[in-house]
Amino acid sequence: MKKTDSKESPASRWVSYRPEIKIFDCTIRDGGLMNDHLFNDEVVKAVYTACVEGGIDYMEVGYKNSRRIFASDAHGAWKYCAEEDIRRIVGENDTPLKLSAMADAEKSDYREDILPSDQSVLDMIRVATYIHQIPLALDMIKDAHDKGYETTINLMAVSVVPERELDEALELLVKSEVGTIYVVDSFGALYSEQTHYLLDKYITYAEPCGKQVGMHAHNNQQLAFANTVEAIIKGANMLDASMAGLGRGAGNCPIELLVGFLHNPKFRLRPILQCIQEQIEPMRKKLMWGFDVPYMITGLLNQHPRAAMKFNASEDKGDIVKFFDSISEEE
């Protein structure tokens, strides 16, 4: 992003260079929701290498979820991110790239499975939570912080959270040990005005307490990149994205678009494009992530995309009018 000076118009100042902006790759973690995290080592290594060579700040290698809840014979290694599996890919990670894993509230044996940071190659633990799980999420954040990790809280499905509950949650979160609080558009339902409103609200709570705000957008209405740009304009510094947008359902903000937009010389596009060409795009025909009309419909209706995912796996796939009629009747 080009530097500006004080003589430029207010409308142009949002493009001024902000070194505090960090790009967070979630290809393997979010993309793994499309294949039960059954990525082979070659794919994970290629994403890791692209992140290192591309100057990306963080890479999320997967989940720290419970083997008691998620059977090992049905999921790949990146559902659990055991230390030996991560080190098999990254060694000691003697690079500037920081590594992260996500722990879901009520789905993680976090006290046992998340090691102290001095025993792990991970740098950050991200806690994903719904609004009713905030008390547990706060305990998970404290546990990770006390073990020496950077932390984020990813408050999911914010588009359906009542205003008062969101305010109460933010009041609690900014008093916690968490470093970054994420706006998460789980359903891909947000428009720019809503993104602006939520970013203003989050930043009003976060900045006085020394917290950062992040953005995680889904692409149900082809707005993941646009809403991420809007979040940057409003002051978000932690930006989630994935290679070719690989992620659950409609996918995420494409990292290649974000790198191109920021024009920061520390980011390099070519290694990312090479990974997309050689590893990510060949999976598209099987995994079938990205924008399509059923995902658009759930985004328009502010609903979880699980209905669209079920429809796309059914014999009725292709009859989008039937899907629209059925899901509209549930409204």
Residues 302 and 243 in one domain: no
CATH number of the CATH domain containing 259: 3.20.20.70
* Signed CA dihedral, 107, 112, 118, 119: sign only: negative
- Closest C-alpha to 305, from 286, 327, 282, 281: 327
d(CA 272, CA 100): 19
Residue listed under structure tokens 């530097």: 3
My answer on whether 263 and 131 are in the same domain is yes
User: String of b and e for 179-204 (b: at least 16 CB within 10 Å)?
Assistant: bbbbbbbbbbbbeeebbbebbebbbe
238 with 272, same domain? yes
Residues of the chain with pLDDT under 50: 1-15
Within-domain flag for 11: no
Is residue 62 a part of any domain in this protein? Answer: yes
Give me the residue label for tokens 């609200």. Answer: 201
pTM (predicted TM-score)? 0.92
CA distance 246 to 223: 15
pLDDT of residue 16: 55
**∠ CA(193), CA(211), CA(268), 5° rounding?**
75
- What span, in angstroms and rounded, lies between the C-alpha atoms of 219 and 293? 11
Question: Is there a single domain that holds both residue 214 and residue 303?
Answer: no
- Asked whether residue 30 falls in the same domain as residue 165, the answer is yes
- Measured in degrees and rounded to the nearest 5, phi and psi for residue 104 equal -85, 135
Structural domain includes residue 132: yes
Whether residues 224 and 308 share a domain: the answer is no
pLDDT digits (tens, 9 = 90+) for 14-43: 445 688 999 999 999 999 999 999 999 999
Residue keyed to tokens 């010389």: 265
Q: Are residue 175 and residue 301 in the same domain, yes or no?
A: no
Residues 324 and 177 in one domain: no
Residue 279 resides in a domain: yes
Q: In this predicted structure, what is the pLDDT of residue 19?
A: 86
Query: Measured between alpha carbons, how far is 153 from 100 in angstroms, rounded to an integer?
Result: 13
Q: Are residues 160 and 211 in the same domain?
A: yes
Domain membership of residue 9 (yes or no) is: no
Is 2 inside any structural domain?
A: no
Does some domain include residue 308? Answer: yes
Residue 210 CA to residue 208 CA, distance in Å, equals 6
Same domain, 58 and 185: yes
Residue-number span of the structural domain to which 59 is assigned: 17-286
DSSP 8-state assignment for residue 215:
E
Residues 305, 179, single domain; the answer is no
Q: Rounded to an integer, what distance in angstroms lies between the CA atom of residue 181 and that of residue 35? A: 28
The answer to whether position 225 is within a domain reads yes
Task: Say how many domains are in the chain.
Answer: 2
**Quick one: 247 and 323 in the same domain?**
no
